[in-house]
Structure 1
Amino acid sequence: MTTTHQKTEHRDFADADEVRTFEHGAMEVLTVGGDDIGRMTLQPGWRWSNDVKPIAGTDLCEAPHFQYHVSGTLHIVMADGTEFDATAGQLTSLPSGHDAWVVGDEPAVIVDFYGASNWAKGR
């Protein structure tokens, strides 16, 4: 992640540089300060292993993430068996090797500060 910023930037996800859509969700990507930041909106019924795995072509999500959870609940299961719910107001730092799905009837909205570059982009 780049930490040196050369200029002031003010961006809005409504004017994303790229929008990636997939079953039950989408991710808007902005490039800010040379880094890709993604906002994922994951609808009820979304599950990485069902909706993004066919795009990624891997058994588990191999993108590491550093995320802020804006709303909704995302259940995360790591390759080592660790699992937890991430909810609004929480941060997660996830290494590669995980699955995740939306819990309940509210969409999960997550801002991903690390890992958005290639997530749901395909090989």
Structure 2
Amino acid sequence: MSGAELKNFNTPDEVREFPLGRADVVNIGGGQVALLTLQPGWRWSEHVKPKVGTELCMAPHFQYVISGRIGARMADGTEFEAGPGDVNLLQPGHDGWVVGDEPAVAVDWGGAQVWGKPAE
């Protein structure tokens, strides 16, 4: 086996689609990385929660925001907003949404293996 792997989001191994959003997922290095594309008006609690069945998003996120703005609120009420060039870490137990009228695009290394999947 080679010590190198190469994947491209143009040919994802899996696509998870929701109203106003999608995750293009590649399997690499024994894990998963997702390219999240979220349209204006997207909110986790409205568009993903019904499918996964948890009160809050329980995926851990380690993200790099390419474009647009993403808002997040933790269970304890802490909020932040991330934009282009920002790297953010979100522990399980949060809501998220697109801020403004531009799609938000982010690469997520942390929670791709569980994001948008029904709770087990």
Question: TM (normalized to structure 1)?
Answer: 0.93
Among 92, 103, 115, the alignment partner of 1:96 is 92
Among 9, 12, 36, the alignment partner of 1:16 is 12
Among 24, 29, 32, the alignment partner of 1:36 is 32
What is the alpha-carbon root mean square deviation over aligned residues? 1.3
Aligned to 2:73: 77
Q: Distance in 2 between matches of 1:29 and 1:50?
A: 22
The Cα shift of 1:35 comes to 1.0
Aligned to 1:26: 22
The unaligned stretches of length 5 or more in structure 2 are: none
Within-5 A mapping of 1:40-55: 40-55=36-51
The Cα shift of 1:7 comes to 2.1
Give runs of ≥4 in structure 1 deviating > 6 Å: none
Among 110, 116, 119, the alignment partner of 2:115 is 119
Q: Distance in 1 between matches of 2:36 and 2:81?
A: 16
Q: Distance in 2 between matches of 1:7 and 1:33?
A: 10
The Cα shift of 1:34 comes to 1.1
Report the number of matched residues.
119
Among 64, 68, 86, the alignment partner of 2:60 is 64
Aligned to 1:3: none
Among 7, 11, 32, the alignment partner of 2:3 is 7
Question: TM (normalized to structure 2)?
Answer: 0.95
Q: What is the identity, as a one-letter code, of the residue corresponding to 1:120?
A: G
The unaligned stretches of length 5 or more in structure 1 are: 1-5
